[in-house]
Structure 1
Amino acid sequence: MTIRPPLLPFPLTICGIDELPAHAGAGISHVLTILDPGWPDPEHFALYPPHRRTIWRFHDIVNPQEGQTHATARDVEAILDYGAGLKDEAVEHLLIHCHMGISRSTATAIILMVQHNPGREADAFTHLAAIRPFSWPNSRMVGMADEMLDRRGALIEAMRGHHHGVARIHPDKMHYLRSSERAAEVPPEE
């Protein structure tokens, strides 16, 4: 049997704002916060021991919408720069959160997992499904990362497989996605 090295050399937690207090004692050394522009900063971090925190602000949309700010190539480049910088830091445990821990945070986690692991796109989504079973990574962010990392569609294809798996396991939640701007991402009902 071949044992593959971990995608990241440290533990990874993904959550939403309401779940932040539950992780205050988990030994988190680094936090990535992704919030809507203008959303107040969560007060939950007062419960955490000292940690390094980075904040990005953009909406969880995949298509341009009036009055909203979508993720841009600059945001994905910032994620890749962040991932490159983690190689030189003593990371004990990384926590990534957005509002619900479903889309922007999971896309960010995927980008960080595949950044230094070409050919392991499917492994990254398998790991994501294990740590965050209901996850629907922001396809705009994943698509830009696929291009920037020269994965030639492998990251997008792995994401589609993940979407199919999540839709099979959580059919009750697909109505919400089908009624949103993310409808094109939802596989047809079987």
Structure 2
Amino acid sequence: MQSVSISLLTICGIEELPSHAERKVTHILSVLDPETPDPEALQNFAPHERTILRFHDIIADRPGMEMPRRDHVEKVLAFGDELAKSCDLREDGHLLVHCHMGVSRSTASMAMLMAQAQPEIAEDDLFEQIVAIRPQAWPNSVMIDYADELLGREGRFSAALRRHYGRQIKRDPHFVTWMTEIGRKREVDMAAD
């Protein structure tokens, strides 16, 4: 994301936040469950810009839970727009995106921010970059589908996500069990070569 003067990208879960407090984070995107309190660890970070979104990491409606919606993805992209607009105000930056575990909502958010900042990047290359940042990346498919449309990727982003799932399963077959157990079997079934 060099075009927005962000040279360091971090994806993590809530439990990892304390280890990043001294890393000069300039921008934070927090994606939390609606009932999750604000992480106390963020009080130890130097002053930074922060956006907070609250919805559950699900891909199908569940009673009492909030699905990722189009307006949530629009807010992620609005955060990206603000990053781009503020690039002249800083020499460098460190973007940290976190969710509960740093696996799904945060990796989807970082992928769409990178795609937004670098529209020329090929979608498969984008997901390989996400894996380089966060090896356990399993981006939320609902979020990526909305981003595909909003970024004008004409289905390429979603198709690349299916190939990403396939590569992740080959790298670590445990994903099949894990995603199935948490109600994400549809994503496992989406996996392509």
State how 1:70-89 maps to structure 2 within 5 Å: 70-89=67-86
- The residue type equivalent to 1:104 in the other structure is R
**Paired residue for 2:132?**
130
> Is the CA contact (8 Å cut-off) linking 1:15 and 1:96 kept in structure 2?
yes
Q: Distance in 1 between matches of 2:142 and 2:109?
A: 11
Q: Secondary structure at the match of 2:85?
A: coil
**Paired residue for 1:100?**
101
- 1:58-116 superposed Cα distances (whole Å, 9 cap, x missing partner): 00011111100011111111111111111122361000000000000000001101013
- 1:14-60 superposed Cα distances (whole Å, 9 cap, x missing partner): 00000001111111011111110021111001221111111110000
> Is the CA contact (8 Å cut-off) linking 1:29 and 1:52 kept in structure 2?
yes
Unaligned runs of 5+ residues in structure 1 are none
RMSD, aligned α-carbons: 2.0
Identity %: 42
Q: Structure 2 vs 1, CA of residues 183 and 157 (structure 1 numbering), >3 Å: closer, same or farther?
A: same
Q: Secondary structure at the match of 1:110?
A: helix
> Is the CA contact (8 Å cut-off) linking 1:33 and 1:54 kept in structure 2?
yes
> Is the CA contact (8 Å cut-off) linking 1:7 and 1:114 kept in structure 2?
no
* Count of residues in correspondence between the two structures: 186
TM-score by length of 1: 0.91
**Paired residue for 2:31?**
34
TM-score by length of 2: 0.89
Q: Distance in 2 between matches of 1:55 and 1:179?
A: 27
Larger helix share, 1 or 2: 2
State how 1:22-171 maps to structure 2 within 5 Å: 22-89=19-86, 90=90, 92-120=93-121, 121-171=123-173
Q: Distance in 1 between matches of 2:22 and 2:173?
A: 33
- The residue type equivalent to 1:137 in the other structure is P
